[in-house]
Amino acid sequence: MSVDPLVLMTDVEQATERLVRTAEGMDDDAVGEPSRLPGWTRGHVLTHVARQADAITNLLTWARTGVETPAYPSPQARVDGIEAGAGRPIAEQVADLRAAHEKMADAAAAMSAEAWTFFIPARKQPAAALPWVRLREVEVHHVDLGLEYTPEDWSDGFALRLLREIVSGTGPAQDMILRPYGLEHPLTIGTPTDTTPTIGGPTRAIAAWLAGRGDGADLTVSPDGKLPTPAAWM
């Protein structure tokens, strides 16, 4: 699914503002409370989202200038950066989120049409894919805060694109056929046969379930039985 990266940056702007509003409603005690991600507090999630914006800025700079600028100096530096910022007061977390987003938005605005086509070896993708990477990060991790924002708040377009991405990138897992409501053609994982289970339901619910952000309670299985176990994602 090809979408103008600058159009997606508008979606990133809106998603980020929603995340910031949620963060502004937290207090300092909430920062240290568990998120939906095992071993991470809400402060870990917020700091990770901020640092990932910095990572996208680095990759956009690489694409624009041709000077190799990795997303993170090293895997350990990524981990250390999240740990270092996780316990900060909520006001600092919010300011960091805003600053990191603005820097990334400026980097995106500086991109030429040619720069968007630059292939980033480390990601095996063109730079034009980065706004989607960022949008996915903000929307999914907003849910991971475990507050009022849920997959039900995702837009139809976001949920469908996320679903298609998960399906196309799923590794070894149980075969299944997916029939999101309103989608003319089913999506398949693996190599379906006559006995392969068919999962039906709202697009948001299927996407959330496959992404590990929903329990699948709204989904149906045919023939009758338990929901398959989806492959781990992100």
CA gap 88, 90 in Å, rounded: 6
Structural domain count, the chain: 2
What is the CATH classification number for the domain harbouring 99? Answer: 1.20.120.450
CA distances from 98 to 24, 74, 84, 207 (A): 11, 24, 18, 28
Question: How many other CB atoms sit within 10 Å of the CB of residue 39?
Answer: 7
**pTM to 2 decimal places:** 0.94
What is the CATH classification number for the domain harbouring 181? Answer: 3.30.1050.20
**Phi and psi at residue 85, in whole multiples of 5°?**
-100, -10
The series of mean pLDDT values per 10 residues for the chain, 234 residues long, is 82 98 97 97 98 98 96 96 97 98 98 96 93 98 97 96 89 82 90 90 96 94 86 82
Residue after which a domain boundary falls, among 93, 117, 149: 149
- Give the structural domain span for 100: 5-149
Question: For residue 24, which of 145, 158, 106 has the smallest C-alpha distance?
Answer: 145
- SS3 assignment, position 41: strand
